[in-house]
Amino acid sequence: MNRTLRIPALALAILGCAPFGAAHAQNDKGKAIYDKVCVACHSAGIAGAPKLGDAKAWEPRIKAGIDALYESALKGKAPAMPAKGGATDVPDADIKAAVDYMVAAAKDGAPAAAATAPAGPAAQAAPATPTAPRPAALSFNRLLKPASKRNPPPPEDGIHDPDNDGTHALQPPLQVFESLPRSNAGNRVDWVKALDNNLIGPRWDRTDPAAAPVVMDLNIVREVKGSMPDVVYPHKQHTAWLDCSNCHPQIFIPQKGANQISMAAILLGQKCGVCHGKVAFPVSECRICHSKKKNVMPVKNAQAN
Amino acid sequence: MTIRHPGASWRGALAAALVVTICIGGIGTSGDARAEYADVVINNYSDAAGMRPVIFPHWFHRIRFRCKVCHADLGFQFKAGGNEINMVKIIDGQFCGACHNGDIAWSVENCNLCHSGKPGTPTQVHESTIQKLAIQPQAGGQQ
């Protein structure tokens, strides 16, 4: 099967769809405005203007939220940032696009070199400073999310509105996770261990802190063709969190082998994927599910087929 | 013992399904999703009503309650946006209101603790399998 050929096709298809296309057009516009208007000050850092691609200078400003930045760019900011950079005839949307472009540059450092170099003659700009971060094209990890972006506090997570006072009252995940056993994916917390070791005490009943689940210790082994180890489905860890009715009969008929399960279904959010890859540990952790070695004596507490 | 899918058919189906989900889902307005795993944005009505979308943090609640309390006892379906939650139901003690009643947890007048999302953020579960696959092109799309 041409498995390897499908993946690039998929990636291309995703790239081609509207939201991404729009984002690109938006950024091109932003760059054009930047190169025409903003570059005069923001390239060399005239009068203390934060330089393009200078993550340090932009970080505290970005924290104030994109809307605050739009506001400054449109209305100006004392002492030296003029409204719309002085180009009052440029439409608001284009100024915002320029801000987006500058914010994106600060976040990934990429366009810093690219933008300052060709703009050379138009601006009294100095070339990229030695402190400028390396272009993203040369970064070590291109796709892997850096550790610094994991478990962000709500105001920085991209979905909470930093302009909302309530957002700043919410608890940052890391404040709690630091005291819990870590894992490699998802919340990066090993929730099974956290519960087993009594580090957390989630209630089984809304009001009664003493109510406890009836944990059922029954493993179901699902044989897997090919090289992947067989899957051991443990009722124990599930019934510690869930009710039988959460799975039976809606997701799984309670009868060994009666359910057709495949990785494709799981990736699409069905079967085990109803929870794994959404709330419980994600699909990337193959060996937590595919845990039974083949061609060896059956695991002691696993039920053989 | 297992009934197996006939060979390759799922791969095409998977690819198609992913593309559809991603294009319709739109990946949110941020384009820069790095929210905490399993944070759910609920925005069936909020935007239209001029409120910020609601963000429900699973990590925070599962430290305090097992899944069973919400998903069996209180009847939350396993589907982001699938419960038709609104404020009347909440003040009558359903859904979030079963706890956010000033007794088990702080009560409803703290609008901004729940309604804390960026306006326009669509209903979705953050960092889900499908979303993670979709985010990679964003990094690749810089050049």
Is the pLDDT confidence value at B90 over 60? yes
Which has the closest alpha carbon to A232: A293, A189, A273? A293
- Residues of chain A numbered 176-215 and touching chain B (CB < 8 Å): 176-177, 186-189, 191, 200, 202-207, 213
pLDDT, mean of residues A274-284: 97
Domain assignment present for residue B105? The answer is yes
Domain assignment present for residue B18? The answer is no
The percent of residues in chain B predicted with pLDDT above 90, rounded, is 64
Q: Determine whether the interchain pair A264/B7 forms a contact, defined as Cβ–Cβ distance below 8 Å.
A: no
Which domain covers residue B55, as residue numbers? 34-132
Domain assignment present for residue B108? The answer is yes
Give the CATH number, domain containing residue B98. 3.90.10.10
The reported pLDDT for the residue numbered A25 is 54
pLDDT, mean of residues A106-130: 47
CA–CA min distance A164, chain B (Å): 6
pLDDT digits (tens, 9 = 90+) for B44-61: 999 999 999 999 999 999
Domain assignment present for residue B141? The answer is no
Task: Report if pTM > 0.80.
Answer: no
pLDDT-based confidence at B33, cuts 50/70/90? low
pLDDT-based confidence at A114, cuts 50/70/90? very low
Higher pLDDT: A13 or A109? It is A109
pLDDT, mean of residues A49-55: 87
CA–CA min distance A50, chain B (Å): 22
The reported pLDDT for the residue numbered A242 is 98
Q: A28: exposed, middle or buried (C-beta count within 10 Å: 0-12, 13-18, 19+)?
A: exposed
Is the pLDDT confidence value at B15 over 50? no
Which has the closest alpha carbon to A159: B19, B73, B3, B120? B120
* Separation between Cα atoms, residue B6 and residue A174, nearest integer Å: 44
pLDDT digits (tens, 9 = 90+) for A145-204: 777 788 999 999 999 999 999 999 999 999 999 999 999 999 999 999 999 999 999 999
Residue A133: asked if its preceding bond is cis (omega within 30°), the reply is: no
CA–CA min distance A235, chain B (Å): 14
**What value does the mean pLDDT of chain A take?**
81
CA–CA min distance B130, chain A (Å): 7
Q: Determine whether the interchain pair B52/A161 forms a contact, defined as Cβ–Cβ distance below 8 Å.
A: yes
Q: Determine whether the interchain pair B68/A246 forms a contact, defined as Cβ–Cβ distance below 8 Å.
A: yes
Q: Determine whether the interchain pair B22/A15 forms a contact, defined as Cβ–Cβ distance below 8 Å.
A: no
pLDDT-based confidence at A132, cuts 50/70/90? low
The reported pLDDT for the residue numbered A244 is 97
Q: Determine whether the interchain pair B4/A225 forms a contact, defined as Cβ–Cβ distance below 8 Å.
A: yes
Question: A177 with A189: CB under 8 angstroms?
Answer: yes
Domain assignment present for residue B1? The answer is no
Domain assignment present for residue B8? The answer is no
Is the pLDDT confidence value at B87 over 60? yes
Higher pLDDT: B68 or B34? It is B68
The reported pLDDT for the residue numbered A115 is 39
* Separation between Cα atoms, residue A47 and residue A226, nearest integer Å: 65
Higher pLDDT: B41 or A147? It is B41
Higher pLDDT: A54 or A290? It is A290
Q: A6: exposed, middle or buried (C-beta count within 10 Å: 0-12, 13-18, 19+)?
A: middle
Q: Determine whether the interchain pair B2/A154 forms a contact, defined as Cβ–Cβ distance below 8 Å.
A: no
Q: How many domains does chain B have?
A: 1
**Chain A residues lying within 8 Å of B140, measured CB to CB:** 11, 15, 142-143
For chain A, domains (ranges, CATH) are 9-115 (1.10.760.10), 147-292 (3.90.10.10)
pLDDT, mean of residues A264-281: 96
The reported pLDDT for the residue numbered A76 is 86
Query: Taking the alpha carbons of B115, B116, B119, B121 in that order, is the dihedral positive or negative?
Result: negative
CA–CA min distance B68, chain A (Å): 5
- Residues of chain A numbered 155-174 and touching chain B (CB < 8 Å): 157-161, 164-167, 169-171, 173
The percent of residues in chain A predicted with pLDDT above 90, rounded, is 49
Q: Which of A19, A205, A222 sits opposite B26 (nearest CB)?
A: A19
Domain assignment present for residue B21? The answer is no
pLDDT digits (tens, 9 = 90+) for A240-254: 999 999 999 999 999
Which has the closest alpha carbon to A214: A228, A225, A203, A204? A204
pLDDT, mean of residues B14-43: 57
The reported pLDDT for the residue numbered A183 is 95
pLDDT, mean of residues A292-304: 61
Q: Which of B66, B99, B128 sits opposite A277 (nearest CB)?
A: B128
* Separation between Cα atoms, residue A284 and residue A264, nearest integer Å: 13
Domain assignment present for residue B28? The answer is no
Cα dihedral A285, A288, A294, A300, rounded to 10, equals 180
Identify the closest residue of chain B to A10 by CA–CA distance: B15
**Structure token pair of residue A250:** 């809606």
The reported pLDDT for the residue numbered A138 is 84
pLDDT digits (tens, 9 = 90+) for B103-135: 999 999 999 999 999 999 999 999 888 877 754
Range in A12-21, A279-288, B67-76 with the lowest mean pLDDT: A12-21
Is the pLDDT confidence value at A17 over 90? no
The reported pLDDT for the residue numbered A241 is 98
**What value does the mean pLDDT of chain B take?**
78
